[in-house]
């Protein structure tokens, strides 16, 4: 990049750069973000004679295309450049047009200065740097392989097995000796004492197995294997045991990464799983659509079901059912005594359609009963988490009759509790973020002090840094959740370096190239969401009840709007009325396009109708805005707004009812981390138009099995929908083609079976990695703990004191 800037400064581009900067200065803003930079550059080029060249092919255009931020200081201009995904550089251009690279530290100082928070004379601000802990661990080289951590790790581990076979074979041997279920020893017993004996006994066992038919059940030869030194866990039939032992035999002789992955994935080491999600309403009914609970609850409940099934299948395949093992999965959340119409005041709740999966609710300690008896926003719960983890530990040990084999945290609060519990119990820790707030709120770190009263980002971001570094592995739903796209910074990437003025500077917050990152997208509940065309599986009375609710029912308590022509093609959307979900943007787009209104009705399911029913400031303002848009564009007779919260089964049928009328689904969010409604709509067979900002970009393949929209460009958005509708009018089969392909996309890529299989295999491989290589991990964990004690806890205490004195 330095060379590119030098080139610019030596050529005609220099003049353009000078004029472009003076145009930026006229904006009277000191800090320009990518969109503003691109728009201003476009405006600048438009006014130039050779606009085409400057805009498309000049070196200046190249520089602009890599620029994420421009900071206009009094005597210099700073370009923050992202030459490739996950890499950041900064350059300062001085008044005399000389250029110099600046360090991360200088950039953070500059940002502080911009908000008048730079005062070196009063001493240095704390610097957080996790990089040294990753210096000795393996890192991925190519950014396109970020998120494929386990594949990389397996290659790395097997090459180590090659390099230092003695040490690694011992490690493998010792790892195999570890596994037990309650009091029962698994895999190998005391007859096998050394790695050499293991190797010999594997060969003897393979000879022994030859005399059995492939489908002979394990119980028929278990004693013979036991005499050789092998306990249950190798397989449920002669064939499966033989396969597993052959893998081990091959690993001992000539390690290969695929064999290593397959072998480790077969080791029975996970029987009890803990998922942590403390905040919000966590229940199975009547919780969706409330603030803080949405896709995260849906995701976890479906994941639990998938995990239990997979654990049962794995136990059976490994031959362990002879020991009558029943796996257990617990979702740990907070108990809310004033639970309104939910079950959140129950300590234990069995999860539907499972044999042994439970929601375990542990109350927050009663520092201030007015507060802790009630629902607390996720932005306020930080002071209660440490004691929650301590109290939960005892409950968990009782419920699980021991400690879990894997802890999975969800969202910043759950991830912090997962870190604390994993550390206390010495268990493998995985984290899942769903959506990190840091990138949702512009400048959330730079102006954290102004936002602190409402959002307490200082606690949340510190918790995130602790949890993401402490975790053994991180599961993300998409690639861009980790490192964004060519144009936009990823959610985890935004933790790479940042300033929290007056609190700390993060010089290296996370190693994005670490193999701990793995993309494992969620699935969709196929019992609830399935194609509209499977008429035989649908409940016809639900179907007509919901048809009535969607299109005709007149009931002011549930629905606003009466359709003049209910037979028009429905444009459907369903989301909470959060600003970021942008249902109001969709209504505005519809309002601005007469043509859309001629062809379609707009049907919105948005949880609430009246601002009096909400206490959430964002929700109230969205409700008011939606009424205002309906009036402004006179959408009466063309829109139905349903203020209902649907049960799970009804939400499945609603998509299908829209499918019956060849309707479409639009997901207009300003940013969507993943977007479960998109999977639900697609599997139901609805042509889906989803935001290009966030996860949907990876779910949908544009114009093949769905369409991208830019929710900030209403004209373009309407055009894309209208183009689809006109194609459907010309070719009556077009709707079916897209519908078919969207179903296929979900069935082949987004099922819970694929997800849980992968998650369990990751958990095993990272446990193995953790056991065999202790490189820097203890030091890293102690550093993370120091941040917890020295930054997080004092701030949590301050917030608690504030809570004690606030009237709720
Ligand atoms: N949902 C629902 N009722 C509503 C709104 C949403 O059941 O009124 C469900 C929806 O079917 C989906 C989830 O809530 O399963 C929303 O998940 P998504 O990932 O789309 O967004 P989030 O709300 O998590 O941001
Ligand atoms: C939270 C979100 O905002 C959604 O984008 C995801 O789909 C959901 O969680 C489940 O991960």
List the CATH number of the domain containing 477.
Answer: 3.40.50.2000
Whether residue 609 is contained in a domain is answered as: yes
107-121, 406-420, 641-655, 765-779: range with lowest mean pLDDT: 765-779
pTM exceeds 0.90 for this model: yes
Between the CA of 411 and the centroid of ligand 2 the distance, in Å, is 10
Ligand nearest to the CA of 578: 1
pLDDT at 165 over 80: no
Residue 238 backbone class (left: φ over 0; alpha: ψ -120 to 50; beta: rest): alpha
Three-class secondary structure assignment of 96-146: CCCEEEECHHHHHHHHHHHCCCCCHHHCCCEEEECHHHHCCCCCCCCHHHC
Residue entry with tokens 């002090």: 449
Last-in-domain residue among 250, 266, 282:
266
Q: Do 282 and 238 have their domain in common?
A: no
Report residue 135 as tokens. Answer: 């210096």
pLDDT above 70 as % of the chain: 99
Same domain, yes or no: 416 and 312? yes
pLDDT digit string, tens, across residues 437-468: 998 888 999 999 999 999 999 999 999 999 99
Token pair, residue 480, equals 């861009």
Report DSSP letters for 555-587, one per residue: -TTTEE---S-TTSEEEEEE----TTT-HHHHH
Is 662 strand, coil or helix? coil
Contact 272, 405 (CB under 8 A): yes
pLDDT band, very low/low/confident/very high, at 731 (cuts 50, 70, 90)? very high
- Which of 108-122, 153-167, 220-234 shows the lowest mean pLDDT across its residues? 153-167
Picking from 213, 234, 266, the residue at the C-terminal end of a domain is 266
Query: Could you tell which of 523, 574, 623, 670 is best to mutate to test the pocket of ligand 1, judged by most ligand atoms within 8 Å of the CB?
Result: 574
Q: Are residues 277 and 223 in the same domain?
A: no
Please classify residue 292 by burial: count the beta carbons closer than 10 Å to its beta carbon, then call 0-12 exposed, 13-18 middle and 19+ buried: buried
In a domain, 107, yes or no: no
Is 144 among the domain residues?
A: no
Indicate if 546 and 512 belong to the same structural domain: no
What value does the mean pLDDT take over residues 367-385? 93
Q: Residue 622 has what DSSP assignment?
A: H
Q: Give the number of the atom of ligand 2 that is nearest the alpha carbon of residue 674.
A: 5
Same structural domain, 564 and 710: yes
Which protein residue's CA is at the shortest distance from atom 11 of ligand 2? Answer: 434
Query: Measured in whole angstroms, how far is the alpha carbon of residue 617 from the centre of its chain?
Result: 25
| Model confidence at 65: pLDDT above 70 | yes
Q: Which among 531, 533, 573 is positioned nearest to 744, based on CA atoms?
A: 531
Last residue of a domain, one of 67, 87, 102: 102
Q: What is the distance in A from the centroid of ligand 1 to the CA of 28?
A: 41
Query: 3-class DSSP state for residue 343?
Result: coil
DSSP state string for 521-558: -----TTTS--TT-GGGS-HHHHHHHHIIIII---TTT
Is 599 part of any domain? Answer: yes
CATH code at position 243: 1.20.120.1230
> Has residue 522 been placed in a domain?
no
Distances (CA, A) of 120 to 114, 126, 449: 14, 12, 19
**pLDDT of 495 over the 90 cut:** yes
Say yes or no: 314 and 210 in one domain.
Answer: no
Closest CA to 486 of 178, 802, 27, 65: 65
More confident residue, 54 or 211: 211
pLDDT of 289 > 80? The answer is no
Alpha carbons within 13 angstroms on the beta-carbon side of residue 397 total: 10
3-state secondary structure of 782: helix
Query: What distance in Å separates the CA atoms of residue 460 and residue 440, rounded to the nearest whole number?
Result: 13
Answer yes or no: do 78 and 33 share one domain: yes
Instruction: Return the CATH number at 2.
Output: 3.10.450.330
Reply yes or no on whether the pLDDT at 538 is more than 70. Answer: yes
- Closest ligand 2 atom, residue 432 Cα: 11
What is the token pair recorded at 575? 């989301």
Per-residue pLDDT at 581 exceeds 70: yes
Assess contact for 611 and 627: CB atoms under 8 A: no
Burial letters 310-346, b for 16+ CB under 10 A, else e = bbbebbebbbbbeeebebbbbbbbbbbeebeebbbee
Same domain? 229 vs 320: no
Domain membership of residue 525 (yes or no) is: no
Q: Are residues 579 and 673 in the same domain?
A: yes
pLDDT (tens digit per residue) in 239-269: 999 999 999 999 888 888 899 999 999 999 9
For residue 477, the ligand 2 atom closest to its alpha carbon is 11
CA of 313 to the centre of ligand 1 (A): 29
Mean pLDDT of 645-674: 95
Are 453 and 549 members of one domain? no
Distance of CA 501 to the CA centre of its chain: 27
Q: Give how many domains the chain has, as a whole number.
A: 4
Q: pLDDT digits over 674-728, tens only?
A: 999 999 999 999 999 999 999 999 999 999 999 999 999 999 999 999 999 999 9
Cβ–Cβ under 8 Å, residues 689 and 664? yes
288 pLDDT more than 90? no
Q: What backbone torsions phi and psi does residue 500 show, to the nearest 5 degrees?
A: -115, 85
The answer to whether residues 279 and 261 belong to one domain is: no
| Residue 504 pLDDT > 70 | yes
Q: Ligand 2 atom 1: the closest Cα is on which residue?
A: 434
Q: Which of 759, 674, 650, 699 is nearest to 306 (CA)?
A: 759
Domain membership of residue 524 (yes or no) is no
pLDDT at site 439: 84
Structural domain of 191: 150-178+187-266
Which of 290, 296, 581 maximizes ligand 2 atoms within 8 Å of its Cβ, making it the mutation to test the pocket? 296
Instruction: Return phi, psi of residue 705, to 5°.
Output: -125, 25
Q: E-strand spans in 304-364?
A: 328-335, 348-350, 357-363
Q: What is the pLDDT, as a whole number, of residue 1?
A: 85
Domain membership of residue 134 (yes or no) is: no
How far does the chain reach from its first CA to its final CA, in angstroms? 53
Q: Which atom of ligand 2 is nearest to the CA of 299?
A: 10
* pLDDT band of 546, cuts 50, 70, 90: very high
Distance 718 CA to ligand 2 centre (A): 25
**Ligand 1 atom nearest to 605, measured from its CA:** 8
Question: Is residue 185 helix, strand or coil?
Answer: strand
Q: Are residues 541 and 469 in the same domain?
A: no
* Nearest protein Cα to ligand 1, atom 13: 295
Residues within a 6 A CB radius of ligand 1: 288-289, 294-296, 298, 574-576, 605, 607, 645-646, 651, 674-677, 680
Residues with CB under 6 A from ligand 2: 295-296, 299, 434-435, 477, 522, 672-676
Confidence class of residue 512 from pLDDT cuts 50, 70 and 90? very high
ipTM for the predicted complex comes to: 0.99
Protein residue whose Cα sits closest to atom 17 of ligand 1: 295
For strand 600-605 and strand 639-642, is the pairing parallel, antiparallel, or unpaired? Answer: parallel
């Amino acid at each position: 990049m330095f060379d590119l800037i030098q080139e610019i400064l030596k050529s005609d581009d220099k003049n353009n750069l000078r004029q472009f900067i003076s145009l930026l200065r006229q904006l009277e803003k000191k800090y320009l973000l990518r969109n503003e930079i691109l728009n201003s550059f476009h405006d600048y080029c438009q006014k130039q004679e050779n606009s085409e060249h400057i805009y498309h092919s000049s070196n200046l255009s190249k520089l602009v295309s890599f620029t994420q931020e421009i900071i206009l200081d009094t005597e210099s201009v700073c370009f923050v450049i992202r030459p490739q995904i996950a890499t950041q550089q900064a350059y300062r251009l001085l008044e005399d047009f000389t250029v110099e690279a600046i360090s991360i530290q200088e950039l953070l100082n500059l940002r502080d200065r911009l908000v008048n928070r730079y005062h070196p004379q009063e001493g240095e601000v704390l610097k957080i740097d996790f990089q040294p802990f990753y210096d000795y661990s393996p890192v991925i080289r190519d950014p396109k392989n970020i998120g494929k951590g386990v594949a990389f790790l397996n290659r790395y581990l097997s090459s180590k097995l090659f390099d230092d076979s003695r040490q690694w074979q011992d490690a493998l041997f010792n790892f195999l000796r570890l596994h037990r279920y309650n009091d029962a020893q698994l895999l190998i017993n005391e007859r096998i004492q050394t790695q050499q004996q293991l190797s010999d006994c594997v060969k003897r066992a393979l000879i022994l197995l030859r005399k059995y038919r492939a489908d002979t059940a394990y119980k028929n030869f278990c004693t013979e294997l036991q005499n050789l030194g092998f306990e249950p866990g190798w397989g449920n039939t002669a064939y499966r045991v033989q396969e597993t032992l052959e893998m081990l035999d091959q690993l001992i002789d000539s390690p290969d990464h695929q064999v290593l992955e397959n072998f480790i994935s077969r080791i029975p080491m996970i029987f009890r799983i803990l998922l942590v999600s403390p905040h919000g309403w966590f229940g199975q009914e009547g919780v969706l659509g409330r603030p803080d609970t949405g896709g995260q609850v849906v995701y976890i409940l479906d994941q639990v079901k998938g995990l239990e099934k997979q654990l049962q299948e794995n136990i059976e395949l490994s031959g362990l059912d002879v020991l009558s093992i029943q796996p257990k999965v617990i979702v740990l959340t907070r108990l809310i005594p004033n639970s309104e119409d939910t079950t959140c005041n129950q300590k234990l709740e069995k999860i539907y359609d499972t044999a042994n999966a439970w929601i375990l609710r542990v109350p927050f300690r009663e520092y201030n009963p007015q507060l802790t008896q009630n629902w607390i926003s996720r932005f306020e719960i930080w002071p209660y988490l440490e004691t929650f983890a301590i109290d939960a530990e005892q409950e968990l040990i009782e419920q699980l009759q021991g400690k879990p084999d894997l802890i999975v945290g969800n969202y910043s609060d759950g991830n912090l509790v997962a870190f604390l519990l994993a550390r206390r119990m010495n268990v493998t820790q995985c984290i899942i973020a769903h959506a990190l707030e840091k990138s949702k709120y512009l400048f959330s770190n730079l102006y954290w002090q102004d936002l602190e009263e409402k959002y307490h980002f200082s606690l949340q971001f510190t918790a995130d840094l602790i949890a993401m570094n402490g975790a053994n592995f991180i599961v993300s739903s998409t690639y861009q959740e980790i490192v964004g796209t060519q144009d936009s910074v990823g959610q985890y990437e935004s933790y790479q370096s940042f300033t929290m003025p007056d609190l700390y500077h993060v010089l290296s917050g996370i190693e994005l190239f670490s193999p701990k990152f793995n993309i494992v997208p969620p699935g969709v509940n196929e019992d609830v969401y399935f194609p509209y065309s499977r008429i035989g599986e649908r409940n016809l009375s639900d179907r007509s009840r919901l048809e009535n609710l969607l299109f005709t029912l007149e009931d002011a308590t549930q629905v606003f709007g009466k359709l003049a022509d209910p037979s028009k093609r429905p444009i459907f959307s369903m989301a909470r009325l959060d600003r970021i979900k942008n249902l109001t943007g969709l209504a505005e787009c519809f309002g601005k396009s007469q043509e859309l209104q001629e062809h379609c009705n707009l049907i919105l399911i948005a949880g609430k109708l009246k601002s009096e029913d909400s206490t959430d400031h964002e929700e109230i303002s969205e409700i008011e805005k939606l009424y205002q848009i309906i009036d402004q564009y006179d959408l009466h007779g063309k829109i139905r707004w349903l203020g209902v919260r649907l049960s799970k089964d009804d939400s499945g049928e609603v998509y299908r009812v829209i499918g019956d009328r060849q309707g479409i689904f639009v997901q207009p969010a300003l940013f969507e981390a993943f977007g479960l409604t998109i999977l639900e709509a697609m599997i139901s067979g609805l042509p889906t138009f989803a935001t290009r900002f966030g996860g949907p970009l990876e779910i949908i393949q544009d114009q093949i099995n769905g369409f991208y929209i830019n929710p900030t460009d209403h004209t373009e958005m309407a055009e894309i929908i209208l183009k689809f509708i006109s194609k459907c009018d010309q070719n009556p089969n077009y709707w079916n083609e897209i519908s078919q392909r969207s179903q296929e996309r979900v069935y082949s890529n987004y099922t819970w079976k694929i997800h849980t299989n992968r998650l369990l295999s990751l958990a095993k491989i990272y446990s193995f990695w953790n056991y065999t290589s202790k490189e820097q991990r203890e030091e890293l964990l102690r550093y993370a703990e120091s941040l917890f004690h020295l930054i997080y806890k004092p701030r949590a205490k301050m917030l608690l004191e504030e809570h004690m004195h606030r009237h709720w």
